[in-house]
Amino acid sequence: MAVEVGSIVTGKVTGVKKFGAFVSLPDGETGMVHISEVSNEYIQELADVLSEGQEVKVKIISVSPEGKIALSIKKCEPKPVRPQRADQGKVWQPRQAPAPQGPVSFEDMMSQFKTRSEEKISDLKRVTEARRGGGYSRRH
């Protein structure tokens, strides 16, 4: 049986290292399962999950021109379902100014505009000064 990319076979773990495990395939060849391809969960020590002589189901991911076979255990398992976020689809919107009640004169509109502009400029100055180190300027 030739090694085919995408096929799922059962193999036996022949060695466990920090970076992955070597698996003997049915046709006599050996492939490696990288630690990142063992489980969908974080694994601190591979020896806690796999041991020599253990039979595992593996999927053949790739075969390099040199003949190295990359395997995956986690791709044989169904993909875990992640819970949906409750705020999906929401986009940040700036606060809306309260709607004026009644007719507004031009002077009132200009006054409100000036107030909002000054608030935005002071916020901008505060942020940029904080990034520069507190607003101290070397230029005089």
Mean pLDDT, each 10-residue run in order, the chain (140 residues): 85 95 93 93 91 94 93 87 68 68 84 90 83 59
Task: Give the global pTM.
Answer: 0.57
**14 lies in the same domain as 71:** yes
Domain of residue 121, residue span: 99-133
In a domain, 93, yes or no: no
In a domain, 22, yes or no: yes
**58 lies in the same domain as 111:** no
Measured over all CA atoms, what is the biggest interatomic distance in the chain, rounded to whole angstroms?
Answer: 88
In a domain, 138, yes or no: no
The whole-angstrom separation of Cα 25 and Cα 17 is 18
Pairing of strands 69-72, 30-34: parallel
